[in-house]
Structure 1
Amino acid sequence: MATSNLEASSTDVSQFNHTPFYCEENVYLLCKKLCANGVADAQGSDLFVVFIANEKKQIPLWHQKASNRADGIILWDYHVICIQRKRDGDSHLVWDLDSSLPFPSPLATYVSETIRPSFQLFSEYQRFFRVVHAPIFLRCFASDRRHMRDSAGNWIAEPPAYESIVAEGKCIRKP
């Protein structure tokens, strides 16, 4: 696969649509753009969407732009990133539009700096990872943004300017 201009200048995060606090929609659009521009396989077969969450809705991640701390730590209710398996099979890249690390980051760097598995966490902060193959995610993802409203119906964070994302295909939902 030839290196595209997007891949060559991949440190320029501004090439990607980003709305703070809408990580799953950001990753959806990121995957679409990586596929369209030839950085990823056209169907996204080399991309994986990773949901990071826990039951308490408190997951610590370091090197996040939304943090006010020097170490970039923040407690997200959940977070979504994209991992790309490169053609050589040995390298993987993490695409996280909310990260202050290089964009994209090698998987090993991202894990050690952002996830910090060697850092002892209290049990309520343990993270769970759900990995979804991007072709399934792109076909089945939908967001009505209900989770971004408070009990009075006000926005918790200003929504993206574009319309809510509607699933492209038929998807089986678990109850």
Structure 2
Amino acid sequence: MTTSTMDVFRFHHTPFYCEENVYLLCKKLCSDGIANAEGSDLFVVFISNERKQAYIKKGGIPPLVWDLDSSLPFPSPLPSYVSETIRPSFQLFSDYNRLFRVVHAPIFLRCFASDRRHMKDSGGNWIEEPPQHEPIVAEDGAVHNLNEYINISVADAITDVTTSSVKDAIFTEKHGVVIKENQLEKLVCQLSSLE
């Protein structure tokens, strides 16, 4: 992949439906030949914490970040993206420290499901209007497993991203691995060197 800026409007985006947007982005990158046909050169990253309230400033080729919600160039080189959106030097209260769930895109595309129940209030009314496309159903027939991806705990975070078991888990586990923010660039660079 190159670092040239692309038109973000080529890609489907429904506000407030980030996970579905990422799912469709991966599919389009594969179908358009920007990524490998099966998505083996893509990784999906969920950013959250135990409070599900992560602060993010919206705002060799290094790995690229394809963030439809960012105001940065699309795609952005990983170091610029981390510096401008993650902002590791920005001090947060410990309750808001970000964790990252890294999932290999081919696994995510097979296993992720969302029937959008998380976007309805207790009366069954939409909190935000849903996308026009059908809800995403996993290959195994699961209709909703979003919480399995966004429920992230410090206790789940691995301590050493350099071990082969971490790389094995990313390429085989449905939910990938959870890492701390200071490990993100190192892990992504290691994964990029495997391609």
TM-score (ref. length: structure 1): 0.76
- The residue type equivalent to 1:155 in the other structure is W
Residue 168 of structure 1 deviates from its aligned partner by: 2.5
Distance 1:167 1:125, change over 3 A: same
Residues 1:157 and 1:34: Cα distance change in structure 2 (over 3 Å): same
The answer to whether the 8 A contact 1:140-1:170 is kept is no
SS at 2:39's partner residue?
Answer: coil
2:39, 2:6 → 1: CA distance? 20
Deviations 1:92-142 (A, max 9, x none): 000000000100000000000000001111111111100000000001111
Structure 1: segments with no counterpart, 5+ residues: 65-87
1:39-58 aligned within 5 A: 39-58=34-53
Q: Normalized per residue, which structure has more helix?
A: 2
Q: Deviations over 1:49-72 (max 9, x none)?
A: 0000111121111025xxxxxxxx
Aligned length: 145
Q: Which 5+ residue runs of structure 2 have no aligned equivalent? A: 143-172, 176-195
Counting strand residues as a fraction of each chain, which structure ranks higher? Answer: 1
Q: Residue 106 in 1 paired to residue 77 in 2? A: yes
Q: Is the 8 A contact 2:108 2:174 kept in 1?
A: no
Report the CA distance shift for 1:173/1:49 in structure 2 as closer, same or farther (over 3 A): closer
SS at match of 2:65: strand
Match status 1:138 vs 2:109: yes
Contact 1:48/1:134 (CA < 8 Å) preserved in 2? yes
Note the aligned Cα RMSD (angstroms): 2.2
Deviation track 1:21-55 (CA, whole Å, cap 9, x = no partner) reads: 10100000000000011100111011000000111
Moved over 2 A (4+): 168-174
Q: Identity of counterpart residues, as a percentage?
A: 72
